[in-house]
Amino acid sequence: TAIPTEQIFTAGSFGKDASPMVAVSKGHDFAFKNVGTIIIVPLKGEAKILSATLESKNHKIAGAATISVNEASDWIPTVDIANGKNKVILSCGDGVDLKDEATNFVFVLAPSTGEYEDLTITFEDSDYNEYKIDLPKREYSRSGSFTLKERTFN
């Protein structure tokens, strides 16, 4: 199982295969549990976004993962990305045209074991301008979805 280090922009959601799940069972019935956490960045403006990079200076946030699920953890998956990467690149293909109404850019990353204090997102447009956002220090829990306040690329 892996949380992809390169994810493909998909309008209104995360990209295909970006958010792995695991099945757990206490008998004959299965329940599916999300492995990662989701960060949503609403962005508007007058630019064509080619890519966005979510990066951590000190933590592995994507890549090959070892998932553990057992009765001791109350059947809640734990994620180990010891040999992972410290960034996720959201590829926008030919570009995403920003408008007056915000477009959601969605990242999937490994949940934190404690707080991520050093996450930064950098958007790059077709004119090679960059827009950086420092994310708040917080715990990003497994199966969580965190939406940042709307921003304007300028």
* Gyration radius from the chain CA atoms: 16
Residue 89's contacts (CB-CB under 8 Å, 6 or more residues apart) are: 5, 6, 7, 51, 52, 53
> Residue length, the chain?
154
Q: What is the pLDDT of residue 128?
A: 94
Q: What is the pLDDT of residue 73?
A: 64
Question: Of all residues in the chain, what percent carry a pLDDT higher than 90?
Answer: 40
pTM beyond cutoff 0.85: no
130: tokens are: 């960059």
Tens-place pLDDT, residues 64-94: 777 777 666 666 666 677 788 999 999 999 9
